[in-house]
Amino acid sequence: MIHWMPGVVDAPSSVLNVIMFVPYGVLVPFLVRRADGWARMAVAGAAASAAIELTQLVLGLTLGSRRTVDVNDLIANTAGALLGLALLRLAVPNPAHRQTLAARQQRGGHPRRGGHPRRGGHGVRTDRLTRTDRARAG
């Protein structure tokens, strides 16, 4: 079933959809640095929500799933992503600090450790072959 009318909404379902996308708004800026803006987060949240709704539509048409496709879910999920971004910006207000945290998370270590270009985040050399690798190569 498809619900196209925005505004006609079940309150608990809408609140749960907002809550479901709050972690998306908090975590995506750590993975995609350009997603730290309001417009880009709105687009990313709407796209992710549209993918979910499209999947529900396809499953409903092909397998007879009882899931409904609702434009209100799209709106609530996008609002949840924006709320998550707002919470991230309240927790870490400085954009440079958010970028440092994102870089740290992507590297998997402390931002001051592992600065050597041939070392991993924990001081492990990654440019040398082990004996096993040399035996296989040679």
Nearest-angstrom CA–CA distance, 29 and 88: 9
Q: Pick the range with the lowest mean pLDDT from 22-26, 29-33, 78-82, 105-109.
A: 105-109
Q: For the whole model, what pTM was predicted?
A: 0.70
Q: How confident is the prediction for the chain on average, in pLDDT?
A: 82
- What percent of the chain has a predicted confidence (pLDDT) above 70? 73
Q: Residue 79 has which token pair?
A: 């609002």
> Per-residue confidence at 53, pLDDT binned at 50, 70, 90?
very high
More confident residue, 126 or 21: 21
| Residue 10 pLDDT | 79
Residue 129 has a pLDDT of 62
Angle between helices 11-31 and 38-63 (to 10 degrees): 120
Q: How far apart are CA 131 and CA 136, in angstroms?
A: 9
Helical ranges in the chain per DSSP H:
11-31, 38-63, 71-91, 95-107, 131-137
Read off the pLDDT band of 122 (50, 70, 90). low
Confidence category of residue 133, pLDDT binned at 50, 70, 90:
low
Q: What are phi and psi of 69, to 5 degrees?
A: -100, 120
What pLDDT score does 58 carry? 92
